[in-house]
């Protein structure tokens, strides 16, 4: 039963929630920031860098991030009733970490 559940979940995630493509992703090659394959203008880069810095410094973001981490930890350690609950909490922490790393990386671009 558990294997069937995993197979169905993998299929759902792969086929129904795969809305982001490589064309939607910001990436930096060391010199230029791209949105997919399109290089961004210096004006756009400056706006993105400034925005990332502002988000990191916002008190609201700091509180939200801290609260989400607390909720994820509670989900894993205090409220979990199954392995799925623990996995969900870990995924929450992973997503928060990815957002924080992306903001840090973007805010350090020149």
The predicted-structure confidence for 62-110, as pLDDT tens digits, reads as follows: 999 999 999 999 998 898 888 888 888 998 999 999 999 999 999 999 7
Question: Other CB atoms closer than 10 Å to residue 75's CB: what's the count?
Answer: 19
**Is residue 22 predicted with pLDDT exceeding 80?**
no
pLDDT at site 1: 62
- Spatial neighbors of 93 by CB under 8 A, at least 6 apart, are 69, 72, 73
Query: Which one, of 68, 91, 88, 92, lies nearest residue 80 by Cα?
Result: 88
pLDDT at site 13: 74
pLDDT: which is higher, 10 or 38: 38
């Amino acid at each position: 039963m558990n294997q069937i559940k995993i197979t169905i979940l993998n299929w759902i995630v792969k086929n129904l929630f795969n809305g982001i493509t490589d064309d939607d992703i910001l990436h930096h090659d060391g010199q230029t920031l791209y949105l997919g394959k399109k290089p961004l203008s210096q004006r756009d880069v400056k706006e993105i860098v400034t925005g990332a810095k502002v988000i990191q410094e916002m008190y609201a973001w700091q509180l939200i991030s801290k609260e989400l981490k607390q909720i994820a930890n509670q989900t894993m350690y205090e409220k979990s009733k199954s392995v799925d609950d623990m996995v969900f909490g870990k995924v929450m922490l992973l997503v928060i970490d990815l957002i924080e790393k992306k903001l840090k990386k973007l805010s350090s671009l020149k």
